[in-house]
Structure 1
Amino acid sequence: MNANSRWLMIAVGLGILLNPLNSSMIAVAIARLQQVYSLDFTAVSWIIFSFYIASAIAQPVMGKASDVFGRRRIFLAGLVISFAASLLAPLSPTFGWLIVSRILQSIGTSMMAAVGMAIVRVHITEKRATALSILSMFLSGAAAIGPFVGGALIQWGDWPAIFLVNIPLTAAGFMLAWKRIPKDEPAASLVQGMSLRQGLALVDAYGVLLFVGGLVALLVGLLSAKSSGHVSFSHVMAVVIGLLALAAFVRHELQTASPFIPLRTFAQYPAMTWVNIQFMLVNLLFYALFFGLPSYLQMVRHVSEFHTGMLMLTLGLSSLAASPVAGRWIDKSGPRPALIVSALLMTLGSVWIVTLTPTSPVISVSLALAAFGVSNGLNAVGMQAALFSSSPKEMAGTASGLFNTSRYLGTIASSLLTGIIMGGAFSFEGFRRLGMILALIAFVLVVMNLRSRNAGSGSLEKSSSIS
């Protein structure tokens, strides 16, 4: 890889790390936000839901927009929006305003995440798995060390510090991206003279509204019922409305000419569909532990934010160590062996959680963290390599958007699962039940990967397009 390619990787990496960094630093701030705003766990969990729902929407929309308006422009605009959100969040007078700032931050960082991989795919043509391993060090490293960084920042400057740290990062990222990301000319003829109605149809505004309304209604109904301890008529109606809206969303997406999530694409590219399903499960597993463990340590074992971050550093170091090894391994053998090992490690980590007792040394959680950390490093490269080999180059932006949507749908599912199991407060018994469910899901993922060759999943085989 030459010097220009390395600088391009750094420019893209500095932008795409902002999404996982900001989604992960909040993990150790949840207990503090509960105290500041006098909220229970179910209510404060919307600081997680809002970020990931907005990301799930922004990823495919911005992936599509990048194919029309240009990837460089979308990337730079994302840095500007992220900078503004980082200034506004610490000034939030209420929890509702903080949620709005988080949504704005999610949109900005999603703009970069949606097109960053596509930029690399277009401009770097040799040893892509190695290039992906570099990006995964930004992605998985930022996500994994986020709790440590967040814990240190909270101890130094309370919760606003986890937003203020973005200001120098976005400023430096903008200058580097402006200089290093090659210019690209958008298909201007597609948007010149376009009316507002045509513009809304292009981004499928109606589909977005159905998706958001359905998902939010479903989450409100399920979480409210769990938090109150009983099921009321309003809870049932919220769930029914959510399901009807999501059903209408599926019907609309299959009929519209410019879908927000091109569901027909999954039928056209079954290997890509298989990759996205596995990626949802991987993220459900990873983020259930990622957000569940810090809250367990702080609320049940009474560990400080800083020391919780120190323990979570095991996750980050394991991910960083595994990523370059994964790149070389996948360059030689393809993604499938690495994904099988990853699923086995998540099974081991989940089973270890179940074996913990109320008197187990706090440091013993490091084994589960290490297993999930190595797994995360393998998945960060392996899943991306599988996506590249299963999707056509001409839809790079759309494929990246769908892939990242799968990531956030898995993360939303993990938060929903944790909220339903824990309810208003964390407990040891609830954490053990969470471990049991994660172990079952991880075992299913092992079986899926072992059967992938027989199932004809070409995405998990070695492809010459990767190297």
Structure 2
Amino acid sequence: MTEQRFDRRLIAPMLVGSILNPINSSMLAVALIPIGAAFGVPPSQTAWLVTGLYLATAVGQPVMGRLVDLFGPRPLYLIATSLVGVAGLLGALAPSLGVLIASRVLLGFGTSAAYPAAMSLIRTEADWTGMETPAAILSSLSIANQVIAVIGPTLGGLLIGLGGWHLIFTINVPLSLICVVLGSLWLPRTARSRTGGGLDYAGIVLFAATLVSLMLFLMRPALSRWWLLVLAVLVGVAFVIAQLRVVAPFIDLRVLGGNRPLIMTYTRQVLAYVGAYSFLYGFTQWLEEARGLNASKAGLLLLPLSLAAVVVTAITGRRAAVRGKLVAGGAFLLLAAAAQLFVDARTPIWILAVVGVIAGVPQGLNNLANQTALYKQADPARIGSSAGLLRTCVYVGALISAAANAHFFQHGATTAGLHEMAIFLLVVAGLLALVTLLQLPD
């Protein structure tokens, strides 16, 4: 069997579904300042628009991944992508910041099924056709997400210029319809592989409670709120104990305990996306507020960043090797953090574009390398759950970056705050380099 036997009809619904989350993430980057102005709130409060989506996806990805393993990709894909359209309408009509945050939470759950569904389909098709590592298909998913990183901020800026920030929510309606149509036409009605067990409801609740209590503290850390941190630790310990005792746990920590390479892949993914999202949201808000660019211009200035990520992914995507990508990705993240220390409100636009290009390179390398590593390291019977957990690591990284933005920009997206963010990113990049050197996959 050869890779040519892969059912190419599956690629369209997989790609369109997988971009729902990144397009909603990247468009929001240029909308935070206009939304804050519309509701009269500072960046520390609009950061909850980021946090709400990623709290939902951090929980939703492994839940959807487990459901995909249980029931197959088709029903979960169709239900979840339909929910995206509902969330888009709610956000477009939101009368308050609270309702807008609720729509982002709904978007988070709605965008959680497509990626584990895609990984499950790739796994079953690879087994069916005799492929080993379908590098071309995996890189197509990664490139699709990077292309949306190109389109997202620019599209968001154009939509805001045409009709205000409401349009970045309205666009989810046609995207949802496209996914439902493509999924109905081409996703297989019967999964080719299933796994036993059920849902661990207690584990889901404890995991969600741990994340929510931790984020409530990190978004506004203070000694008077120490109890939130203690609560997060206690609930987290209860979660670990419960997972070790349950036959079919929400997150199989026993499997992780025996798979050190997979643990390191998840750790790298968290650190890589702390860096990626801290730059995406922090640098963009600074461009609009301190550098004085409007949303459309800020979106255009992010094009070099995203184009660099796409080009790097396209060049390296067909090679399944992981080691070199991880080393280069860590090095460029360090360089991007250092470069951010030297920009201010008077820095020429072309230099800011160069900084963006430097920051785009690790985004193209790290995501693809970790995705390929997971495909090799995960248990094939739980590939949907493992892929969902990899995406959960992305969103944990995004949550940490949202907390960092709320802290460093609590009085506005100032140059001083941007430089503090750069120091934070240097620490993150250093940790990523350390973790990479401790365990380099083949």
Q: TM-score, normalised by structure 1?
A: 0.88
Q: 1:289-308 counterparts in 2 under 5 A?
A: 289-308=279-298
Query: Which residue in the other structure is 1:155 paired with?
Result: 161
Query: Which residue in the other structure is 1:457 paired with?
Result: none
Q: 1:85-104 counterparts in 2 under 5 A?
A: 85-104=87-106
* Equivalent in 415, 424, 428 of residue 428 of structure 1: 415
Query: Which residue in the other structure is 2:274 paired with?
Result: 284
Are positions 1:378 and 2:365 aligned together? Answer: yes
Query: Which residue in the other structure is 2:84 paired with?
Result: 82
Are positions 1:171 and 2:180 aligned together? Answer: no
* Equivalent in 104, 121, 124 of residue 122 of structure 1: 124
How big is each residue's C-alpha offset from its partner over 1:236-291, in whole Å with a ceiling of 9 and x where there is no partner? 22222232222222222222233222222210211111111111110111110011
Q: 1:446-461 counterparts in 2 under 5 A?
A: 446-453=433-440, 460-461=441-442
Indicate the larger mover: 65-74 or 181-190.
181-190
Query: Which residue in the other structure is 1:260 paired with?
Result: 250
Query: Which residue in the other structure is 1:143 paired with?
Result: 149
Q: 1:353-368 counterparts in 2 under 5 A?
A: 353-368=340-355
Cα distance, 1:422 vs. partner? 2.4
* Equivalent in 395, 405, 409 of residue 408 of structure 1: 395
Cα distance, 1:212 vs. partner? 2.4
8 Å contact kept, 2:301–2:353:
yes
Are positions 1:211 and 2:207 aligned together? Answer: yes
Are positions 1:40 and 2:32 aligned together? Answer: no
Q: 1:61-72 counterparts in 2 under 5 A?
A: 61-72=63-74
How big is each residue's C-alpha offset from its partner over 1:126-151, in whole Å with a ceiling of 9 and x where there is no partner? 36111111111111221343111111
Query: Which residue in the other structure is 1:242 paired with?
Result: 232
Separation in 1, partners of 2:365, 2:327: 10
Q: Alignment identity in percent? A: 28
Cα distance, 1:207 vs. partner? 2.4
Secondary structure, counterpart of 1:355 in structure 2: coil
Shift of the 32–357 alpha-carbon distance from structure 1 to 2, 3 Å rule, reads closer
Shift of the 187–121 alpha-carbon distance from structure 1 to 2, 3 Å rule, reads closer
Are positions 1:275 and 2:281 aligned together? Answer: no
Cα distance, 1:177 vs. partner? 2.1
Separation in 2, partners of 1:316, 1:107: 25
Separation in 2, partners of 1:81, 1:285: 29
Separation in 1, partners of 2:292, 2:245: 52
8 Å contact kept, 2:72–2:190:
yes
Separation in 1, partners of 2:6, 2:210: 45
Cα distance, 1:223 vs. partner? 2.7
Amino acid at match of 1:327: G
Amino acid at match of 2:217: G
Indicate the larger mover: 262-271 or 240-249.
240-249
Secondary structure, counterpart of 1:85 in structure 2: helix
Separation in 2, partners of 1:12, 1:71: 10
In structure 1, stretches of 5+ residues that fail to align are 192-201, 226-230, 454-459, 462-467
Separation in 1, partners of 2:434, 2:6: 42
Indicate the larger mover: 18-27 or 134-143.
134-143
Secondary structure, counterpart of 1:21 in structure 2: helix
In structure 2, stretches of 5+ residues that fail to align are none
Separation in 1, partners of 2:4, 2:175: 25
Separation in 2, partners of 1:315, 1:128: 27
8 Å contact kept, 2:195–2:382:
no
Shift of the 82–254 alpha-carbon distance from structure 1 to 2, 3 Å rule, reads same
Query: Which residue in the other structure is 1:464 paired with?
Result: none
Query: Which residue in the other structure is 1:22 paired with?
Result: 24
Between the two proteins, the alignment pairs up a number of residues equal to 436
Shift of the 188–254 alpha-carbon distance from structure 1 to 2, 3 Å rule, reads closer
Secondary structure, counterpart of 2:248 in structure 1: coil
Say what the alpha-carbon RMSD is for the aligned residues.
2.1
Q: TM-score, normalised by structure 2?
A: 0.93
